[in-house]
Structure 1
Amino acid sequence: MKSQVIETFGEPSVFQYKEISKPELKPGYVLVQVKATSVNPIDTKVRAGAVPTVAPEFPAVLHGDVAGLVSAVGEGVTEFKIGDEVIGCAGGFRGTDGGALAEFMLADVDLLAHKPKNLTMEEAAALPLVAITAWEALFNRAKLIPGQNILIHASSGGVGHIAIQLAKWGGATVYTTASSQEKLEIGTRLGADVTINYREESVHDYVQKYTDGKGFDIVFDTVGGENLDRSFEAAAVHGTVIAIATRSTHDLSPVHLKGLSLHVTFMLLKIVNKDMHKHYGEILKKIARVVEEGKLRPLVDSNIFTFDEVSKAHEYMESGKAIGKIVLKNCW
């Protein structure tokens, strides 16, 4: 079958077209005819060799997010049948059976859900990793409840734009930050109650302005680095900070002084550990229902790439110019 593979870590140019064997079906798995995938920051990090502990063996087919059609069903599979439209984050990392940058992908059914009927394949492929991450962070870690106020950083980011919609669905009052008027408007369209230009307002100023200096019940940091320190500053006493990028060093004095709870969400842990797969599949099914209720929709960048343009897609991701998710469609 046709595929894009890497045989060494490196720049986006390391991708190369290659004919490889179609995966062999096994019990508990389905063979998915891939229609689309999306680029996540972790995909570029795997390609570059920045996270070798989760990288698959060479030659490697990357990308976890997939939308496609079930073309074959393994022994013991009852939930899916040939022809079903499915989504999932089901490969491209250590311990999985190949990624989505190929004509077919072998996927553990515990990592899949039926594709929401109101999404195209391209839209659906943008959903799994970021939506699972946001759900895990908001509902399983932060235990968000109706009536709380939450600050979500990066309104147009992959995880951030999904988190805004899920937090609103969960009954929270949502505040979000962005760096430009265009991105602030996106936050408003997605349902945020208040948008904040972090380049024009300091943390102290917007905490004073919107919470009378008390801080936010929950702060969801999807950025990392120095922004995590700003998240500590923005959180209320006994508040909760959730982070998805914490490979950095920080002074935890504010965490101590405020009695904060700090949670780190790294969704790949449950991808590379097979005994945790079912949990993510259950989350994805819940997300699909929210999508079909019309309460959640992925934001897809206007630049759509093909699988033959995967190097360009990775370059675009690393340029920081994308608005929402970068999607690739399979034209093979």
Structure 2
Amino acid sequence: MKAILMTQPGLPDLLELREIEEPTITEPSQIKVRLRAAGVNPVDTKIRRNGLFYPNPLPAVLGCDGAGEVVEIGGAVSRFNIGDSVWFCHGGLGGDQGNYAEYTVLDERWAAPIPQSLDFEHAAAAPLVLITAWGALYDRGRLQAGQTVLIHAAAGGVGHVAVQLAKLRDARVLATIGSAEKAELARNWGADTAIDYRQEDFAQRVNELTDGQGADLVIDTVGPDVFRHSIDCTAHFGDLVTLLDPGNISLQEARMRNLRIGFELMLAPMLRNLHEARDHHVEILQQCGEWIDQGVLNIHVSQVLPLEKAAAAHALIETGHTTGKIVLKIS
């Protein structure tokens, strides 16, 4: 089968299209999937740049997000039949094979039926960002109706679904963006106010919009500088959740505000074999699938590239200027 291989850590052009052996079912609970599309996420680019999560030798197939058709099932499979369409977040970290390939094998437990209204490309774009945004907002952030939430990088992969999930919880959404185009997108997804961080101090603006109280919940998807500055606009007794390592910073003001600091790494259950947590991830996909079919949750795909253009997809993500998701189409 065709697959994109990470041959060594480094630049995007180290990704190579090669022919490799098809994976086979080795456990009775596994399904074999003919992949039709694979989502490309920032974590893919970080692994490519820095190395695998596991000590396994290279080359490796990257890509956590996949969508396709079940073509073979193990003897104990009960949830899926041959021909079913599935989406999932599985593999791509250096352990199990990723989804930049024509086929993959995974336990049926980690897959969910694709929403009826989604094509393969939009389905492949969604799992990691949906699970991450849900975890940050609902599980770690404890978002409640009527609260104010600040979502950074609201036009990005996680950000654009986080805005929509927050509105589904009847929250007031403040969103940081970096262009007029992204501001319009954020408002279309439900943001009440879009704050251009290039033009104004976002913390000052949030405090103005909340009469000096700050946001009840802040979701940081950017990194240390944004995390540090977000403390100044998180409400006393509020929640500040980050997807990244905030680095070695002073938490004196966070302590004075009695903030709850939360971390959301949706890959942890896969990395540490936390099966109940992964069951929750599949439940998230099932609920989000219902909302997608109801038309109240949308997945924004900015570009679809052929599998052989994986290096170009990585390069685009690393510019930091993309909106929504980039997807590889697997013919």
**Letter aligned with residue 297 of structure 2:** L
Task: Indicate if the aligned counterparts of 1:203 and 1:233 stay in contact, CA closer than 8 A.
Answer: no
Indicate the percent of aligned positions where both proteins have the same amino acid. Answer: 38
1:151 corresponding residue in structure 2: 150
TM-aligned CA distance change 1:70 to 1:49, over 3 Å = same
2:22 corresponding residue in structure 1: 22
Instruction: Quote the Cα distance in structure 1 between the aligned partners of 2:106 and 2:246.
Output: 29
When normalised by structure 2's length, the TM-score is 0.95
Of 200-209 and 283-292, deviating more is 200-209
User: Is the partner of 1:274 in helix, strand or coil?
Assistant: coil
TM-aligned CA distance change 1:63 to 1:204, over 3 Å = closer
1:262 corresponding residue in structure 2: 261
1:179 corresponding residue in structure 2: 178
Matched, 1:241 2:255: no
In structure 1, list runs of 5 or more residues that go unmatched.
Answer: none
- What does 1:90-101 correspond to in 2, within 5 Å? 90-96=90-96, 98-101=97-100
User: Is the partner of 2:87 in helix, strand or coil?
Assistant: strand
**Letter aligned with residue 181 of structure 1:** A
Aligned length: 328
1:285 corresponding residue in structure 2: 286
When normalised by structure 1's length, the TM-score is 0.95
1:37 corresponding residue in structure 2: 38
TM-aligned CA distance change 1:298 to 1:55, over 3 Å = farther
Instruction: Quote the Cα distance in structure 2 between the aligned partners of 1:146 and 1:55.
Output: 44
Instruction: Quote the Cα distance in structure 2 between the aligned partners of 1:318 and 1:178.
Output: 17
Quote how far apart the aligned CAs of 1:204 are.
4.5
Quote how far apart the aligned CAs of 1:247 are.
5.1
Instruction: Quote the Cα distance in structure 1 between the aligned partners of 2:40 and 2:198.
Output: 27
Instruction: Quote the Cα distance in structure 2 between the aligned partners of 1:55 and 1:227.
Output: 32
User: Is the partner of 2:274 in helix, strand or coil?
Assistant: helix
TM-aligned CA distance change 1:313 to 1:160, over 3 Å = same
1:131 corresponding residue in structure 2: 130
Over the residues paired in the alignment, what is the CA RMSD in angstroms? 1.5
Matched, 1:115 2:114: yes
Task: Detail structure 1 runs of 4+ shifted over 3 Å in the superposition.
Answer: 54-57
2:63 corresponding residue in structure 1: 63
Instruction: Quote the Cα distance in structure 2 between the aligned partners of 1:177 and 1:110.
Output: 36
Instruction: Quote the Cα distance in structure 2 between the aligned partners of 1:74 and 1:274.
Output: 21
Quote how far apart the aligned CAs of 1:291 are.
1.2
1:330 corresponding residue in structure 2: 330
**Letter aligned with residue 246 of structure 1:** D
Instruction: Quote the Cα distance in structure 2 between the aligned partners of 1:204 and 1:45.
Output: 28
Quote how far apart the aligned CAs of 1:75 are.
2.6
Task: Indicate if the aligned counterparts of 2:53 and 2:93 stay in contact, CA closer than 8 A.
Answer: no
Quote how far apart the aligned CAs of 1:110 are.
2.2
Task: Indicate if the aligned counterparts of 2:195 and 2:202 stay in contact, CA closer than 8 A.
Answer: no
Task: Indicate if the aligned counterparts of 1:149 and 1:218 stay in contact, CA closer than 8 A.
Answer: yes
1:223 corresponding residue in structure 2: 222
**Letter aligned with residue 16 of structure 1:** E
1:188 corresponding residue in structure 2: 187
Instruction: Quote the Cα distance in structure 2 between the aligned partners of 1:291 and 1:22.
Output: 32
Task: Indicate if the aligned counterparts of 2:151 and 2:219 stay in contact, CA closer than 8 A.
Answer: yes
Instruction: Quote the Cα distance in structure 2 between the aligned partners of 1:88 and 1:101.
Output: 13
